[in-house]
Amino acid sequence: MQIEQSERDGVVVLATSGRFNMVSAPRIKARIDETVAAGNARIVVDLAGVDFIDSSGLGALIGGLKTARQASGDLRIAAAGDQVVTVLKLTNLDRILTPFDTVEAAVDGW
């Protein structure tokens, strides 16, 4: 899994691609932690390139959300595909990690 970082209107966007599973989840969680530690607690995770997510991936997102909120920020997800949205709904995590249709919509919400 690759992680590309950019910034839009003071919000850090982490674009991921591939499988978001037990192999890649620790890398993404570490990147979120590093971003928050660097003083950027407003983060959007762009899931447009993610074709699969499992419980480890969900755990990394929830852990990242907790880290961001403890730093008075927030973590949002954007552009999630069908499989990711289905998993979020089945686990009721779509109530905590509200998926935005686009990165722009997630950024504009601040």
The total domain count for the chain is 1
Question: What's the token pair of residue 21?
Answer: 């599973």
**110, pLDDT greater than 90:** no
Q: At what angle do helices 55-70 and 25-37 cross, to 10 degrees?
A: 10
CATH classification of the domain holding 66: 3.30.750.24
Tell me how far apart the alpha carbons of residues 36 and 18 are, in angstroms, rounded to a whole number: 23
Within-domain flag for 110: no
Tell me how far apart the alpha carbons of residues 17 and 81 are, in angstroms, rounded to a whole number: 11
Query: How does pLDDT run across 53-92, given as a tens digit for each residue?
Result: 999 999 999 999 999 999 999 999 999 999 999 999 999 9
Within-domain flag for 108: no
**Angle in degrees, CA 100, 69, 77, rounded to 5:** 20
pTM of the model: 0.95
Structural domain including 47 reads: 2-103
Looking up tokens 């998926």, which residue turns up? 99
Within-domain flag for 109: no
